[in-house]
Amino acid sequence: MCGICGFTGEIVDQSNIVRRMADVITHRGPDSDGYYTDDKIAMGFRRLSIIDLDAGHQPIYNEDKSMVLTFNGEIYNYKVLRRELIELGHSFYTQADSEVLIHGFEEWGEKLLDRLRGMFGFAIYNKKDGSLFVARDFFGIKPMHYAVVDGHFVYGSEIKSILEFPKYKKKFNARALDNYLSFQYALPPETFFEGIYCLLPGHYLWYKNGEVTTTRYWEASFEPDNSLTEEKAVDEIEQVFEDSVNAHKISDVEVGCFLSSGVDSSYVSTYFADQKTFTVGFDFGEKYNEIDWAKGLSEKIGVDHKYKIISSEEFWGNIRKVQYHMDQPLADPSCIALYFVSKLASEYVKVVLSGEGADELFGGYTIYNEINSLRGYQKLPLWLRKALAGIVRPLPKFKGRNFILRGALSVEERFIGNAFMFNKKEKQKILKDGSIAHEPQEYTKKYYDRVKDYDDITKMQYLDINTWMVGDILLKADRMSMANSLELRVPFLDKEVFKVASKIPYQLRVNKENTKYAMRKAALRHMPKASAEKKKLGFPVPTRVWLKDEKYYNIVKDTFNSETAKKFFNSEELIKFLDDHKNGKEDNSRKVWTVYIFIVWYNIYFGDADKVTAPEGYEPPKDK
């Protein structure tokens, strides 16, 4: 795993600028660095050595050195492609997977992307015509950001690199705040920085003659095969997943595995006999601690299990560090737990496998089963359901009220993804400038329009793959592992695995018996029934408990009364949310946390207009 950055065009002090851009992402690759500069471009690279430890340094060149590559990621089928390219007459000077990209691009152009199996963000510069090609992997496992600044195309694995480009003038993007308050993350392609964009998953771009053009080359399209039997579906999942795990374990260094009590990481871990697994938890009872489950499974499958209990002080003491590494605010508290499990794993291995993507591909989230629970009620005429919703809406909360309200809505109206924090009216109430507030459904409509003929469960999965998974799940996986110079691989998010997942009828994904139904049946062949069928917890974090504790309540209250808070919000409304939660009137923990994290992040990146203030005591990794 690595970090890349660069910019086009001439500029004074070019070499030092690209080095500064690379230095701020040293954590992505502390093993070595590399640079290419000429009068048209500067390219920087930081390396975490995984494959071909001695010779796989970048930049990488083609035979006549007319093309230059910097690459972040792993190509799992590189050996097959390498043999094919050698037969076509290409000469290789390394054993690294990265060299396959430059020769492959030379041979096939953009069509190279169709042949790849892996995770990647890479840039290829053509000296002959001055063009730059940039691509991001199918699901968005690896990041890529870019901006056009005063005639320069600037890019980087992390936004931090672009902020180091001297001609970029940092400006806050209020549109991102509007979306963040509803979704709890920044919605791609926009970022919280005006003019800096996220290259979307499954896309590539060309920068030629001062123009940026982006193209979608792959999309996660579901094509359910209703003739597929349960046994056949389970067989295909088991076969393709075993193949994917084995491909993802290819490395010249030791590979470990994250392990929770859930089926996703547990399934991955069953292929790790005699190797290491890693788990973290909190000292707040079984609800917030999966260590005993993970320990028990580890004993059964024969792996060396490492774990850590995160104290309240450690968690709160690392919030700033985590948000610094995120680049943009992310109000998912599990990202901090992920930071600690990555830190733990980095003490033993350089590479870990994890279970991200299984829920989105195979239908794992509990909310997906809402379709089945509402199916009978939604047979009533729409006018009647709307009337009932109108009657109960002004009433105090009672059991079944939410069912009636949600049953009056279509899936497009009620589901914006796994996190729904504030609607338009709530945003208008808490924001100083309520004019920026929009309904989140205005954003999700374009995704629903693409799958309007699908069943509702598939619609929800498609939306999550394109929004929630990119903006939350994969963002925190990349940033938290890379913050600890650890490569994280996700075998569920493999093109071949998706080919199988895309064929499975929705009844074998989500039904009354369970979510991820067919995938759990495949996992059951490798692990105890209790683990294969256990409900998903993820990384449960006791934020709702902390926000009732006097110490942490006061930390948040002081933050809500700060000058930064008052710049954007009506502080009295924020404190009302906080007090109602503390007093047990309403569980506002997620909404409170969303606003709190934004303020913490803003103080890091915009508290001083001229610089980013890294957390106190933070020291980036030194070159090895």
Which residues does the annotation mark as catalytic? 5
Output phi, psi for 399, to 5 deg: -60, 125
Rounded Cα distance, 489 and 386, in Å: 46
Query: Please, which residues have CB within 8 angstroms of residue 611's CB and are 6 or more apart in sequence?
Result: none
Helix (H/G/I), strand (E/B), else coil: 143: coil
Edge-to-edge strand ranges of the sheet holding 131-136 = 60-61, 67-75, 118-126, 131-136, 203-208, 211-216
What's the count of helices (H) and strands (E) in the chain, helices before strands?
30, 17
At 216, the amino acid letter reads R
Rounded Cα distance, 2 and 74, in Å: 10
Contact 294, 277 (CB under 8 A): yes
- Beta strands (DSSP E) in 518-596 are none
Neighbours of 167 (CB within 10 A): 14
Rounded Cα distance, 512 and 510, in Å: 7
Contact 340, 258 (CB under 8 A): no
8-state DSSP, 393: T
Contact 155, 7 (CB under 8 A): yes
Please, what is the Cα angle at 266 between 263 and 270, to 5 degrees?
130
DSSP 3-state percent helix, strand, coil across the chain (nearest 5): 45, 15, 40
Alpha helices in 224-311 (DSSP H): 230-248, 263-269, 291-301
Rounded Cα distance, 609 and 222, in Å: 45
R_g (Cα) of the chain, nearest Å: 24
